[in-house]
Amino acid sequence: MPKVTFIDLEGKSHQCDIANGLSVMEGAIAGGVPGILAICGGSCACSTCHAYVDDAWADKVGGPNEIEDATLDLANDRRTHSRLTCQITMQPEFEGLVIHVAKND
Amino acid sequence: MTRHVIIGAGQAGLQIVESLRKEGFSGEIALIGDEASAPYQRPPLSKKYLLGQITAERLLFRAPEHYGRLGVELRLSTRVTAIDPAAHTVTLAEGSQLEWDRLALATGARVRKLGVPGAEDPRVHVLRGVEDAEALRQGLEQAARVVVIGGGFIGLEVAAIARKLGLEVKVVEAQSRVLPRVVAPLVSTFFHELHTGHGVRILLDQQVAALVPSADALTVQTQDGTVIPADLVVVGIGVLPNTELAEAAGLACDAGIVVDEFARTSHPHIVSAGDCTRHRNLLFAAPHRLESVQNAVDQAKVAASTMLDAPVPYAQVPWFWSDQYDVKLQMVGISTGHDSLVVRGVPGPDGFSVFYRSGDRVIAVDSINKPAEHMAARKLIAAGGQCDPERLADTSTDLKTLLQ
Ligand SMILES: Cc1cc2nc3c(=O)[nH]c(=O)nc-3n(C[C@H](O)[C@H](O)[C@H](O)COP(=O)(O)OP(=O)(O)OC[C@H]3O[C@@H](n4cnc5c(N)ncnc54)[C@H](O)[C@@H]3O)c2cc1C
Ligand code: FES
């Protein structure tokens, strides 16, 4: 299972094994990563699973599609590498992915 | 030590717990729910879960260990049978009592039953909890002919899934259009055509009179004598708020547990949030009851703030979504009391939005496959909804620019 490192708002890192096919958000929830709230359960409706893809990974992970892009407009402090983690599906190439949790409330 | 007790381990109950901890409450918390599962999401029950795309484990809001980390006593399969507001206790089904300093009712809602002969037949399904969804999913595997009673969101979502599974689907609706209470007629028409285009037959203005069982069918009979044979019937005719506990405890109820903008019931130390409440939202003149993720979460935050004696009033814009086939409907605001409509775009596969206006203000917007318009509409309504209708209708104007 690919490993993902989440860095929370306090700078603490959390390593999660996330099965391919699950979303990065689901992995964060399973691993109890603080700050990933995901109140809509991955329906791309709430933006409370917002995070920043680490600069080194941004190209590989890619940007949001149209609906995610729109939903990201609701997120706090949107930046260049903002993504909704419920819209990133784990795949083998994401082994070692680094994600910085955004301020979700 | 201080102990707060939350009745109902659904979306609102869990959010109250999370907010209490986030705001720094360090006393004891007990979250009591009568379902067997730890808190889980309901929306996928009529969507991905019913289609068999995700397992029950993936419905859970939080991993089981999370509750330990939060320091919450999660008691599942445990029903609260009584509240004593004077003694500050609740009684659990097995007879024990629990004391509380502050109490929250997040008891949600249950499905409305179809009160006709034959409604107890095992081929009749409803959809509220994960057990209902699992039974329905298995039932659909065996069925060829499905009748959905009720053309509301849940009925239409189930109809869409049953079609995706290749089943023959008929929807029986008592009113003259689908989604009658929640959207404008042109949105109803869009969804009607969407479903008929996918091969669903929709019967309008039809009251179900009886379900007549036989060995090889459960036949739906309507009041005008129409008979529709089915292998499986799904009833989706709305929900009733779970107010009995509150009523028995003497709390004010009026088709919902009555709460003010601080989620306070008529008892100063008891709050309530989610589907079970008839509540005040400062953005609206009249109180209302809502069944949505947004309301469960936002009102739960308000309830937690009140439990901590730092009350923040409820003034959040309601939003909702529904997925049917490849169509995503996103709604914001409450359209009740609108006096005019502005349509942006052409109802069809490319998507459109309908703006509900009251005087010169936009009070609600339904967007079909227009996520950017929905998100702009959320901001527009939060900002008061003042907006030039001609520019709203003009698809060459970027809605975002209307907000400046
Ligand atoms: C099939 C389906 C699809 C949906 N789709 C959407 C959607 O797409 N978008 C959207 O925004 N919303 C949707 N909703 C609505 C949304 O899921 C609800 O509004 C939300 O779950 C409400 O949360 P709640 O905590 O208020 O109530 P609930 O989730 O009903 O939780 C209340 C809990 O309290 C328990 N309880 C009640 N009485 C007692 C007692 N005496 N003792 C112990 N426990 C008790 C109940 O069993 C239940 O577990 C959907 C709902 C369903 C059923
Ligand atoms: S979980 Fe709601 S947008 Fe990702």
* Domains B3-110+240-307 and B326-403 belong to one CATH topology: no
Establish whether residue A88 lines the binding site of ligand 2, counting it when its CB lies within 6 angstroms of any ligand atom: no
Assigned architecture for domain B113-235: 3-Layer(bba) Sandwich (3.50)
Look at the alpha carbons of B92, B97, B100, B102 in this order and tell me if their dihedral is positive or negative: positive
Name the pairing type of β-strands B28-32 and B3-7. parallel
Mean pLDDT of B131-151: 97
Question: pLDDT at residue B331 above 90?
Answer: yes
Q: How far is the CA of B293 from the centre of ligand 1 (A)?
A: 8
Structure tokens given for B129: 């909890």
**Residues B183, B151: Cα–Cα separation, whole Å:** 12
Share of chain B above pLDDT 70, in %: 100
Share of chain B above pLDDT 90, in %: 94
Q: So what's the pLDDT on residue B402?
A: 75
Ligand nearest the Cα of residue A39 is: 2
Q: So what's the pLDDT on residue B81?
A: 98
Mean pLDDT of B332-344: 95
Q: Which neighbouring-strand residues pair with B171?
A: B148, B202
Mean pLDDT of B321-340: 95
The identity of residue B157, as a single letter, is E
Which residue, among A8, A18, A22, A67, would best test binding to B if mutated, counting the most B CBs under 10 Å from its CB? A67
| pLDDT band for position B401 (cuts 50, 70, 90) | confident
Assigned architecture for domain B3-110+240-307: 3-Layer(bba) Sandwich (3.50)
Q: Which fold has domain B326-403?
A: Enolase-like; domain 1 (3.30.390)
The count of structural domains within chain A is 1
- Whether A41 sits inside 8 A of B330 (CB atoms) is no
Mean pLDDT of B77-83: 98
Establish whether residue A71 lines the binding site of ligand 2, counting it when its CB lies within 6 angstroms of any ligand atom: yes
Neighbour-count burial for B106-117, b at 16+ CB within 10 Å, e otherwise: bbbbebeebebe
Beta-carbon contacts of residue A29 (< 8 Å; ≥ 6 apart): A36, A38, B60, B61, B62, B63
Please choose, from the candidates B257, B291, B240, B253, the residue with its C-alpha nearest in 3D space to the C-alpha of residue B112. Answer: B240
Q: What is the CATH number of the domain that holds A17?
A: 3.10.20.30
Name the pairing type of β-strands B352-358 and B361-368. antiparallel
- Whether A69 sits inside 8 A of B330 (CB atoms) is no
Q: How far is the CA of A68 from the centre of ligand 2 (A)?
A: 9
- Whether A70 sits inside 8 A of B375 (CB atoms) is yes
**Residues B198, B217: Cα–Cα separation, whole Å:** 24
Q: So what's the pLDDT on residue B274?
A: 98
Q: So what's the pLDDT on residue A105?
A: 85
Q: Do residues B345 and B190 lie in contact, with contact meaning Cβ atoms separated by under 8 Å?
A: no
Which residue, among B14, B21, B41, would best test binding to A if mutated, counting the most A CBs under 10 Å from its CB? B41
Name the pairing type of β-strands B257-258 and B277-278. parallel
Q: So what's the pLDDT on residue B102?
A: 98
**B374 chain-A contacts, CB cut-off 8 A:** 70
Residue B288 DSSP one-character state: B
- Whether A67 sits inside 8 A of B321 (CB atoms) is no
Q: So what's the pLDDT on residue B156?
A: 98
**A31 chain-B contacts, CB cut-off 8 A:** 63
Ligand nearest the Cα of residue A26 is: 2
Neighbour-count burial for B145-166, b at 16+ CB within 10 Å, e otherwise: bbbbbbbbbbbbbbbbbbbebe
Question: pLDDT at residue B285 above 90?
Answer: no
Q: Domain residues for A75?
A: 3-101
- Whether B371 sits inside 8 A of A29 (CB atoms) is no
Establish whether residue B277 lines the binding site of ligand 1, counting it when its CB lies within 6 angstroms of any ligand atom: no
Q: Which neighbouring-strand residues pair with B75?
A: B32
Question: pLDDT at residue B380 above 90?
Answer: yes
**Residues B389, B385: Cα–Cα separation, whole Å:** 11
Least confident stretch, B44-58, B147-161, B390-404 = B390-404
Ligand nearest the Cα of residue A84 is: 2
List per-block mean pLDDT (blocks of 10 residues) for chain A, which spans 105 residues. Answer: 94 95 94 92 93 96 93 92 97 96 93
| pLDDT band for position B404 (cuts 50, 70, 90) | low
Establish whether residue B324 lines the binding site of ligand 1, counting it when its CB lies within 6 angstroms of any ligand atom: no
Q: How far is the CA of B101 from the centre of ligand 2 (A)?
A: 34
Residue B48: how many other CB atoms lie within 10 Å: 18
ipTM value > 0.90: yes
Question: pLDDT at residue B349 above 90?
Answer: no
Question: pLDDT at residue B342 above 90?
Answer: yes
Residue B74, H or E segment: strand B72-75
Question: pLDDT at residue B298 above 90?
Answer: yes
Residue-wise pLDDT tens digits, B227-264? 999 999 999 999 999 999 999 999 999 999 999 999 99
pTM of the model: 0.96
**A34 chain-B contacts, CB cut-off 8 A:** none
Q: Report DSSP letters for B97-151, one per residue.
A: EEE-SEEEE---EEEPP--STTTTSTTEE--SSHHHHHHHHHHHHH-SEEEEE--
Please choose, from the candidates A9, A14, A42, A43, the residue with its C-alpha nearest in 3D space to the C-alpha of residue A28. Answer: A14
3-state secondary structure of A61: helix
3-state secondary structure of B182: coil
Q: How far is the CA of A70 from the centre of ligand 2 (A)?
A: 12
Average model confidence (pLDDT) for chain B?
A: 96
Domain locations along chain B: 3-110+240-307, 113-235, 326-403
Q: So what's the pLDDT on residue B180?
A: 94
Question: pLDDT at residue B403 above 90?
Answer: no
Name the pairing type of β-strands B327-333 and B361-368. antiparallel
Question: pLDDT at residue B24 above 70?
Answer: yes
| pLDDT band for position B108 (cuts 50, 70, 90) | very high
